[in-house]
Amino acid sequence: MASKPFTPEEARRIVQFLQTPAVFLNMTTDWPALHWTVEHLSACLTERLRFRIGKRTENMAPLFETECSYIEATINEFLSWTACEDKSLVGPFSDYHCKEFWAYADYKYIAQLFQDKPAMFQDVVWSDFGFPGRDGRDSTLWIGTQGANTPCHLDSYGCNLVFQIQGRKRWHLFPPDDTHCLYPTRIPYEESSVFSRVSVVHPDLKKFPAFRRARVHTVTLQPGQVLFVPRHWWHYVESVDPVTVSVNSWIEMDGVSSHDENMQYLNLAVKACMDKSRDDTDGMTSLADQPRAEVGKRDSSGLLKTPASPTFRVPFGPHLIPVNLAHKPNCTCSKDTSCYRYNDLSRCQSTAQDEDESRSVNELQRWGQHAHQEAESPRTSGEGSGLHISTNDMLQFLIHPDVITLVTRLMMSRQRELHS
């Protein structure tokens, strides 16, 4: 058997140092999971799976998961439906024409799917990437048809390794620095994801003008390839071929904080502020003229972290390909249509951010004025009634950074009162 281009130790080091998306080639040639085609899975999984159903349209608004239909069906019924076979063979899919709708069995935990066939966990060999013991139990399965997609979002946890098994998937990725161009929203609310309000394939530039400056990296992932998605990179994913199968695993890397660790950091910070407030009354004057010692970073337990590793050069080449910026299209349409400029970076980091921050502050002030007006004057029905504040408005208001800042100040004030 031919050796792989990277040893597990080398692959792990690459994953730790990659700051942008990249595709690994020739790392899965001996993985048994390469045979996990939908035909193979139909023989292994006879239970019903939950499929998300979406209509094939070119809407200028994302189709969020809460807006989709859902059915429970077997993979055999799914296969018959993709082949547009007789309605008697497709079960619950019979209500959806195969040419008008797509289907997606997404986020399926392999540990649950194959709990009666634990030997299949070993078919996924993440240990080849330097993560010993990580296999199918730590992975999720995705089965879809052409057009099946995941709305543009970022994951709040670690990096992502995606193994493509059958068919191709098109990935659109955006760096964390472009968050202000993607109009983030927590609606629909999902603990581990933040969604974009933009339909990145068919954007509404009148409504989301800053998206013109978003820097998209695109790649079509082929069977046998593994895509590395860095932490907090935005991504929109769409199935290209009639049937697609992929497996992924989210990995918390060393030096990256989990939610629980972040809460411990917050507790440490609050405690440090309280301790400092008490210490300020003792001997602060005598310390004012002393040289300031360099302060090292601490982990979630309060212990000093060890220094970072020296700079590492990622070995891009025939077996590791970076996912680069998409080519700037030659736009011949009018200014306000749905095409957008991929690589216009001239104002992305400064003016665009200022515009969006200013807009957010104005929206916050406007919502506050509406709330005050409605509190003073009861609503009446018909024309001329007070402006309605939707649930979405209220949620967006509550999670606005300015509100979070105010809550933090109130928490700190409360802590001071408790310790005074």
- Which carries the bigger pLDDT value, residue 2 or residue 227? 227
Determine the pLDDT at residue 407: 81
Determine the pLDDT at residue 80: 97
At 153, is the pLDDT very low, low, confident or very high (cuts 50, 70, 90)?
A: very high
Q: According to CATH, what is the number of the domain 8-251?
A: 2.60.120.650
Determine the pLDDT at residue 193: 86
CA dihedral 336→66→48→77, nearest 10 degrees, is -30
At 361, is the pLDDT very low, low, confident or very high (cuts 50, 70, 90)?
A: very low
At 395, is the pLDDT very low, low, confident or very high (cuts 50, 70, 90)?
A: low
- Which carries the bigger pLDDT value, residue 287 or residue 405? 405
At 12, is the pLDDT very low, low, confident or very high (cuts 50, 70, 90)?
A: very high
Provide the mean pLDDT of the chain: 80
Judged against a pLDDT cut of 90, whether residue 76 lies above it is answered with: yes
CATH 2.60.120.650 domain locations along the chain: 8-251
CA dihedral 236→240→242→244, nearest 10 degrees, is -60
* DSSP letter (8 states) at residue 224: T
- Mean pLDDT, rounded, for 195-202: 95
Q: How far apart are CA 52 and CA 147, in angstroms?
A: 12
3-state helix, strand, coil in the chain (%, to 5): 35, 20, 45
Determine the pLDDT at residue 263: 57
Judged against a pLDDT cut of 70, whether residue 150 lies above it is answered with: yes
Give pLDDT tens digits for 244-259. 999 999 998 765 554 5
Query: How long a stretch of residues is the chain?
Result: 420
